[in-house]
Amino acid sequence: MEGSKRRVLILGSTGSIGESTIDIVKRFPERFEVVGLVAGRNREKLLKQAQELDVKNYVLFSERGLEGIKELIESTDFDVAVCAISGSAGILPTYWASRKGGRIALANKESLVCAGEFIKREAKEIIPVDSEHSAVFQCLVGERKEDVEEIVLTASGGAFLEREDLENVKPEEALKHPNWDMGKKVTVDSSTLMNKGLEVIEAYWLFELPLDRIKVVIHPQSIVHSLVVFKDKSVKAQIGIPDMRIPISYALSYPERLELGEEMKLNLFGLSLSFLEPDVERFPCLKLAYESLKRGYPYPIVLNAADEVAVELFLNGKIRFTDIPKLIEEALNRADFKKPETIEEVVEIDRRAKELTLEIFRRFH
């Protein structure tokens, strides 16, 4: 990065990842400048960000739609695009940013879950921002791919790791993650283990390993962010406090590392770590994610679409917590879509799968 600032485009600037990215940029104004902002509906926050960062190129999705986002991406010269639009809404913006060139700092896992083939084909460079995938990426630096036996993604287990009466879980309870500060959708997905299921599919595309070599363990402390097991049975792990600014800073500055403050330092004294096997009977969303990828495309698209609908229904009090995986499984069983051949077909399958899920909901409620 010597000699010039790295130009940063933030897709999803008003969400938690976007705000954390802006925090890093503000800490290192000599290294980064924001050249474009995209937000969903929070006009007031977007305008405030644009003013603070002196950014002239910004778009609000609720006012200008996807075409407005596409125009901004295509007209903005950037070195790094932080792709942090939540859910399937981020698929096309991530794809367009990939086609433009530059680095993709990927925080929108749904892009690879639904359109991994198309985005990998276009992207010049992808550095993952999700803490688990960033950890794997860091563990693989300097290693040979053929020496990797398996990767192990850690999951906190969410808010209900030891709770028995899952059918009585209320939305406000599911939104209280014990370790991480995340958006509503991701927080609920964490509590159902669907977030980890989506991350398994994301890892499949990022690291190009067979599905049976991508494992998941429950790690309630959220200190070990993921591990890599090599064929000599040695294990590398990346550990740190649960703060997204660490993987974000790494994705922005790679191959360099930024000097973050002492508040980011992990206190090793008295640290107690534990690892548990996931209970896929109580939390079947993880199993459904593996099964969707085994069945092949378009089933991961259906999985993600059905989950988005189910989580929204749960948050609105329309279904119980335990109905989320039931609704997703029914959508997977009823889906009859062809494998997508274009990015536009991916988006169309996503739309139709959401309609299918709503039809199933209305039929049984």
Measure the CA–CA gap between 266 and 197, rounded to whole angstroms: 27
Q: Which residues are annotated as a binding site?
A: 14-17, 40-42, 108-110, 130-132, 156, 177, 183, 190, 195-196, 199
* Residue 284 phi, psi dihedral angles, 5° rounding: -75, -5
> CB neighbours of 63 closer than 8 A, spacing ≥ 6?
43
Q: In what order do the strands lie in the sheet with 224-230?
A: 214-218, 148-155, 224-230, 235-239
Question: How far lies 53's CA from each of 38, 97, 123, 210, in Å?
Answer: 13, 21, 27, 43
DSSP lists the bridge partners of residue 83 as 11, 106
Q: Where are the domains of the chain?
A: 6-128, 136-233+275-364
Residue 298 preceded by cis peptide, ω within 30? yes
Hunting for tokens 């897709």 — which residue is that? Answer: 11
Q: Each residue's pLDDT tens digit in the chain (365 positions)?
A: 455 899 999 999 999 999 999 999 999 999 999 999 999 999 999 999 999 999 999 999 999 999 999 999 999 999 999 999 999 999 999 999 999 999 999 999 999 999 999 999 999 999 999 999 999 999 999 999 999 999 999 999 877 888 889 999 999 998 886 666 667 898 999 999 999 999 999 999 999 999 999 999 999 999 999 999 999 999 999 999 999 999 999 999 999 999 999 999 999 998 999 999 999 999 999 999 999 999 999 999 999 999 999 999 999 999 999 999 999 999 999 999 999 999 999 999 999 999 999 999 999 87
Domain 6-128 CATH assignment equals 3.40.50.720 = yes
pLDDT at 130: 95
Q: Which residues are annotated as a binding site for Mn(2+)?
A: 130, 132, 199
Q: Which residues are annotated as a binding site for NADPH?
A: 14-17, 40-42, 108, 110, 183
pLDDT at 163: 86
Hunting for tokens 């790094």 — which residue is that? Answer: 80
Hunting for tokens 């808010």 — which residue is that? Answer: 159
Q: How many CA atoms lie within 13 A of 53 on its CB side?
A: 32
SS3 15: coil
* Residue 63 phi, psi dihedral angles, 5° rounding: -100, -40
Measure the CA–CA gap between 46 and 11, rounded to whole angstroms: 11
Tell me which fold the domain 136-233+275-364 belongs to: Rna Polymerase Sigma Factor; Chain: A (1.10.1740)
Query: Strand 214-218 vs strand 224-230: parallel, antiparallel, or unpaired?
Result: unpaired
Residue 214, both tokens: 């991508």
Residue 172, both tokens: 């406000």
Q: Which residues are annotated as a binding site for 1-deoxy-D-xylulose 5-phosphate?
A: 109, 131-132, 156, 177, 190, 195-196, 199
Query: Strand 80-83 vs strand 6-11: parallel, antiparallel, or unpaired?
Result: parallel
